[in-house]
Chain A
Amino acid sequence: MAASSPVPSFYLDPQIRDWVLFPITLVMILVGILRHYVVLLLQSPPKRLPRAAIREQRALVQSNVLRATASNSPIPFFFYKSISQNLSKAFADGTYLKDGPSKGDAPAAPPNPLTDPAAMDGMMAGMKTQMVMMVPQMVIMGWINFFFEGFVLIKLPFPLTLGFKSMLQRGVQTPDMDVRWVSSLSWYFLNFFGLNGLYRIILGGENAADAAQNMMASPFASAGAPQAGAPQDFGKLFKAERDNLEFAEGLHKWIGEDVEDRILRKYGRAAS
């Protein structure tokens, strides 16, 4: 069968369109919307952190702000240095640590996330959302596999190269069939990855309906990322930040350093 044959090689029953293609699409959209609301229900209110914990988490912001502007600093070196030195000293002494400066010289072992109830809560919340993502997708896939296995649903209106065969004809092992025909399982995957735009229109920007994104994120992946409530060794972070501060101090340049020359040049009085 030639791909360029003017006569279509076979016709699809319109019943397939009405009873398979549309239902699969519709079910996937509806499940996505449902999931959005279930996730909203499941979301627990953000935990309230005690003051000391917030202070610890945000201490790094101070030095970040300071460093970010170092090479074009709005404040003269005198003030910059005092802030920088103070921060550096506070980091060295562990003033910002939640539990106060460490006493013994033995470094405390990093807390185990599985025994810390606070960390456990965060992980459970992640798992719950994960379940809401996984279960419906597995059910739909099972449903399609059971009832519509091997169905050819639509013909794409444009030609494609052979490379797309595995993408568009999953579940149909026909080596000769034109690549433009799309099988039911492939249609499912296309929807799975492609419906995000539609959800964004229906549910607004930050929706929880898109399964594909959440599938890729493991519930444990967030353990390494900061701000996820995962335990971090702030003592070590602060120690590392001291080097950065020292480095930035060398880069410091106040915008007011030669401002009078700039102004005079701008107003044409530089020569006089």
Chain B
Amino acid sequence: MDLPAALQRLANYRLRNSRASRDIFESGVLVLRKNALSKLGDDRTFAHTLARRNVHRVSIGWVFLEQLALASIDIGRLEVAETCYGELTTKFPGSPRVECLKGILIEVKGTDEDALAFYEKLLAADESNGAAWKRKISVLRRTGKVDQAVEELSVFLDTFYTDVEGWLELADIYASCHQYTSSLQSLSQALLLAPQNPFYVLQAAETAYTAGDVPLAIKLFLVVVDMTDGDDDVLVKDSIPSGITVRAWNGVQTCAQRLQKEPKLSLSSASNTSSPQKLSVLEQLAKDMLRKARS
């Protein structure tokens, strides 16, 4: 793989926030090596490849170092991560973002208590450091102090309301403790913040089903179908469902079956959702679509 291709891949991963650590690491090390070589020789070409319109020339290099550090921590190549952290901290001493990287390194190498103490220190210096706060919550959850984690996360979300990731995490924590109603409430906040994401709706639908609110679940599954089955309403009839849509059709089928078998379920909706009328038609449609998807 040559340098521009590697840089392109890395930029793509950054943009999509994907966790392809092995690949990032391999491309990253290549870039790092080429960069080290080009520093000796011709520095221009590297800077030129990095240069993008409206982006500061240097900054991409630093973001790349952060990306590489995280990826190499993920696959256990700590010495590379240390190198990246060293370079970043000499450039930006005391930056909260870089300090967070150090916290992650401590989490890997030291004990959880060390990491917690480190994050506490960061938060004491600047109590509005959202990144360190989130790391602290994740450490709390991982070490089994779920109650503390939920408490901290609630305060965090009350301060930084727009953090979708935080709401999803809270929903996940609640779901892991079988608190599906609370989980659904957190998910509804995530839905408000990112109404365009069908995966959150699907998660909400499945949580609602687990919580026993089947009428709400079938509606949400139908919303997912509506969101994901393609843009052209005319062609949609003959299309073959794929991916998330299949899962949503599965949900529709299951919900419709259950609602027909146990009609009193439709009366016991916790959210006062009325169940759809044409359940048998919906079930038949879901069956047909699933058959199409499987054939």
Contact = CB atoms under 8 A, between A and B. Distances in A.
Contacts, number: 100
Contacts of B201: 74
Contacts of B127: 50-51
A260 B282 contact: yes
Nearest to B274: A257
12 contacts: A51-B127, A55-B158, A58-B162, A66-B192, A69-B195, A78-B272, A78-B273, A79-B185, A259-B226, A263-B222, A266-B229, A272-B281
Interface residues of B, number: 43
Contacts of B185: 79, 82
Interface string B168-203: 000000000000000011001101110100000100
Interface string A39-66: 0000000001111001100110110011
Given A259-B223, A263-B225, A267-B285, A75 B237 contact: no
Interface of A: 48-51, 54-55, 58-59, 61-62, 65-66, 69, 72-79, 82-83, 204-205, 255-256, 259-260, 262-264, 266-269, 272
Contact of A48 (B128, B161, B191, B195): B128
Contact of B281 (A49, A61, A264): A264
A186 B130 CA distance: 51
Contacts of B289: 267
A263 B160 CA distance: 37
A268 B237 contact: yes
A49 B161 contact: no
A65 B162 contact: yes
Nearest to B252: A263
Interface in B264-295: 270-273, 276-278, 281-282, 284-285, 289
A76 B271 contact: yes
B126 interface: yes
Contact of B222 (A54, A59, A259): A259
Contacts of A48: 126, 128
B128 A54 contact: yes
A205 B54 contact: yes
Given A51-B128, A260-B282, A74 B159 contact: no
B23 to A, nearest CB: 31
B176 to A, nearest CB: 21
A26 B237 CA distance: 66
Given A74-B195, A78-B273, A267-B237, A260 B278 contact: yes
A78 to B, nearest CB: 4
Contacts of B219: 76, 256, 259-260
B158 to A, nearest CB: 6
A262 B226 CA distance: 8
A51 B285 CA distance: 52
B51 to A, nearest CB: 11
B271 A264 contact: no
Contacts of B128: 48-51, 54
Interface centre among A74, A83, A205 (most CB of B within 10 A): A74
Nearest to B223: A256
Contact of B236 (A58, A62, A264, A266): A266
Contacts of A204: 54, 56
Contacts of B271: 76, 78-79
A255 B285 CA distance: 21
Contact of A74 (B191, B236, B270): B191
Nearest to B194: A74
Nearest to B282: A260
Contacts of A58: 159-162
Given A83-B192, A256-B222, A263-B285, 5 more contacts: A54-B159, A62-B161, A65-B193, A256-B273, A268-B237
Contacts of B192: 65-66, 69, 73-75, 83
Please list the 8 inter-chain residue pairs (A to B) with the smallest Cβ-Cβ separation, ordered nearest first: A78-B271, A260-B276, A256-B219, A74-B195, A79-B188, A74-B191, A75-B188, A259-B222
Given A264-B285, A268-B237, A75 B191 contact: yes
Contacts of B56: 204
Contact of B162 (A61, A82, A83, A260): A61
Nearest to A50: B127
A234 to B, nearest CB: 15
B84 interface: no
Contacts of B272: 77-78
B220 interface: yes
B216 interface: yes
Given A260-B282, A266-B236, A55 B159 contact: yes
Interface in B209-264: 216, 218-220, 222-223, 225-226, 229, 233, 236-237
Contacts of B276: 260
Contacts of A260: 218-219, 222, 276-278, 282
